[in-house]
Structure 1
Amino acid sequence: MITLYATEPGSIVHLDGSHFQVFFLEKLCCKVAAVKVKQIILFDWCDITAPAIKCAIARSIPVGFIADGGRYVARLHDGGKCLHLSRQKQCFGDAEFQLAIVESLLRAKLHNSRVLLMQLNSRRNCKIVGKAIDSLAYLLEALPAVTTRKGFWQFEAASARIYFQALSYLLPAAFNFQGRSADLAGDRINSLLNLGYALLSQNLYACVQKFGLNPDFGNLHHTCFNHTPLVCDLMEQFRAPIVEALVADLVNQNCIKIGDFLPPDERGGLYLHPQALQEFLLHWETKLQSFATHLYAGQVSYRHCLELQVKEYLACVKGEQDVYRSLLCQEAIARL
């Protein structure tokens, strides 16, 4: 199963019988059997024909749209295949269920963020980063005392400020990363993070749809502008080990350079050049195919981890499991 990307402005995804085709400047660039396509992602000014959309919907193939080289825009959603809606509504009204899920996800987010800082700082031994690692450990110890959604939000915001400030010391100074800014990619690192989060969101959405869950019923996130709450929830455990680790590797190893970005647009946003975007996507697919140690499945790819964690959530919704076991990096388990 593959992800079909359309990246060049003006590209069009067509349907020819049982095959998707991607044309650019009226030239066939790619042809793949629909049965082999897991999802379709279209970037700036790419298009998809009505027959291709109908085929995607009929085969439950998610179609995502990403603009400005990395900003999530929208996705096609077949809302008629939510198989567990009644149970999700019950869980949505169960404060104890929701808080337990949120606590597990935030614990994993802090674990995995802390582990990434330790990995990146292992050779640099930056004292400021070391203090941030200790601060995250303190917050992990304090997490059980949080008992409200508002408290969890405040807790998450505080930990994010500590984490991203520390991360800025572990990336090349030339990128001038000052901290996380989700609204506008005014610097190159935030642009790469936005792109990675958009791709992660689309991949998790495909898993949520595959297992018949309604993505609109979240736990930490009840409303998300232009996003689906359940997907935003499940992303928390994957942000550091997948997206932030990939971005750090790409810039620290000089795979993505300052010159790989287009000039700022009218809003001041900085986005990858189309060729650099294709390079990013190659590294993204390699990252998803790389292996992680899963709590009960052993060595599996990150792509498979996404499915396993959605299935884990489904088991909790159906009442088959009492505790949601979030994805913890192996190093986090070993050190804490």
Structure 2
Amino acid sequence: MSTIYITEQDVTFQIQHHYLKVFHQQNQRICIPIRNLSQFIIFGNISLPKEVIQIVHSQQIPVLYLTQTGEYLGRVENPSKLQAKYLTYQRRRARDTEFNRATAESIIWAKLHNQHTFLQSWTRYHANHTIQRALNYLTLLMDNLPLAPGIDELDEYSKEADNIYYCAVGSLLSFYNGSSYTTAKRTSGLLNLGNQLLHQYIYTLLNTAGLDPNYPILHRDDRHELPLAWDFTAEFRAPIVDDLVLNFVRNLANSNGNGNGRSHLHNPLQKFLQHWEAKLRTFVLHPYAGEVSYRQCLDLQVREYRASLMGDVEFYRPLALKFRPLHSDFTNTIQPQTVPLKLVKR
């Protein structure tokens, strides 16, 4: 299956013989069987033609609109109208207080663990009091999670962890790329974009797995669209999004220091999307599945949750990473490109 990213205004579409063709400046950039299309991610105010919208509705292809900095604009499809295959199980488990409490604790524990692992992995580059304080506090919170009486209290633990964790991440970013307002704003935008891309990808996995994204474990307020997908981002933000952004900023700073910064600043959105896809291809040691990519890890965790809903496994086992990635094509094989749209297969 494939994702199409569109980042420029002057693109056109054509449907021909069950194929979608995408053109930029009258040059064909993409030709893909419609059956192989998994989603569109569109940046900015770019309208899809009527015939493409018809395909989107008939094939139930997700279409996400974001700003150039990754802020949510809207969707073409209406996820609430899709009938999930395992909705009955989700509704039944929604009334199971013990199940939801245990699952929430597992997810938050993995989130804190992965934040701790992320910070530890970067201390060989830079360590200070702020980072050490965050490491100590994350350890304390992990130990105290069983004392939280319910999901609301667990959520408070999670928010406390985020406050101190992102102070430590900020100190790392300042170390590599200064502390100017422009740098901080750019970094915040990259983190937001990464989180939106992660959320969208998990949403497509939930659809594939037959789960309704509107039955959350943690994000139970009305501020989060498709809240179950946001629940699963908790385990993966540190190792995928935060590590990606820190690497991106560090490489940009190194290039600027060598006088090569212009190549990285040219169309940073396209550059970031290339690095995002490379990050998903990064291999890690999964505690149960062995050496798999982050893309596979995300799919495994969604299926693990579905199995726990159905009672096929006793409890939900979260992803707690213990090692740095074994290998990645993030910095080695991804080269700068200037195409305004991109087809990505998975």
TM bin (shorter chain): 0.7 to 0.9
> Quick check: 20-29 or 113-122, which moved more?
20-29
**Residue 131 of structure 1: how far off its partner (Å):** 2.0
Q: 2:18 maps to which residue?
A: 18
* 1:207 to 1:89, Cα distance in 2 relative to 1, 3 A: same
Pairing partner for 1:140 from 139, 142, 148: 142
Assess, with a 3 A threshold, how the Cα gap between structure 1 residues 257 and 244 changes in structure 2: closer, same or farther.
Answer: farther
CA spacing shift, 1:46–1:23, aligned 2, 3 Å: farther
The percentage of aligned residue pairs carrying the same residue is: 31
SS in 1 for 2:252: coil
**CA distance in structure 1 between the partners assigned to 2:147 and 2:89 by the alignment:** 28
Match of 1:314 in 2: 306
Structure 1 residue 102 corresponds to structure 2 residue 94 = no
1:221-232 equivalent positions in 2, closer than 5 A: 221-225=219-223, 227-232=225-230
- Decide which of 193, 196, 202 is 1:195's aligned counterpart: 193
Q: TM-score scaled by structure 1?
A: 0.86
Distance 1:217 1:12 in 2: 37
- 1:65 positional shift: 1.4
Summarize the Cα distance change of 1:124–1:175 in structure 2 as closer, same or farther, 3 Å threshold. closer
Query: Contact (CA 8 Å) 1:193, 1:247: kept in 2 or not?
Result: yes
Any idea what the Cα deviations from partners look like across 1:14-71, whole Å, max 9, x if unmatched?
Answer: 4333122223345433222223322221111222223223323433432211124311
13 and 120 in structure 1: CA distance in 2 versus 1, 3 angstrom threshold? farther
Residue in 2 that maps onto 1:43: 43
Whole-Å separation in 2 of the counterparts to 1:256 and 1:13: 39
Give the alignment of 1:115-194 within 5 angstroms.
115-173=117-175, 174-176=177-179, 187-194=185-192
* Corresponding residue for residue 33 of structure 1: 33
1:329 corresponds to: 321
Residue correspondences, number: 316
Q: Which residue of 2 aligns with 1:266?
A: none
Structure-2 change in CA distance of 1:123 and 1:8 (3 Å): same
Q: Which residue of 2 is the match for residue 269 of structure 1?
A: none
Q: Is the 8 A contact 1:316 1:323 kept in 2?
A: yes
Q: Is the 8 A contact 2:67 2:73 kept in 1?
A: yes
Cα distance in structure 1, aligned partners of 2:6 and 2:255: 23
Q: Describe the superposition over 1:124-166 as per-residue Cα deviations: whole angstroms up to 9, x where unpaired.
A: 2323211211111111111111121221121111100110011
Residue 67 of structure 1 corresponds to which residue in structure 2?
Answer: 67
**What is the TM-score of this pair, normalised by structure 2?**
0.84
The AA in structure 1 aligned to 2:116 is R
C-alpha RMSD over aligned residues: 2.6
Deviates more, 1:138-147 or 1:74-83: 74-83
Unaligned runs of 5+ in 2: 325-346
Alpha-carbon distance between aligned partners in 1 of 2:254 and 2:78, rounded to the nearest angstrom: 33
Conserved in 1, the CA contact under 8 Å of 2:217 and 2:231?
A: yes
Distance 1:37 1:145 in 2: 46
Would the alpha carbon gap of residues 177 and 205 (structure 1) be closer, same or farther in structure 2, given more than 3 Å must change? farther
d(CA) in 2 for partners of 1:52, 1:138: 52
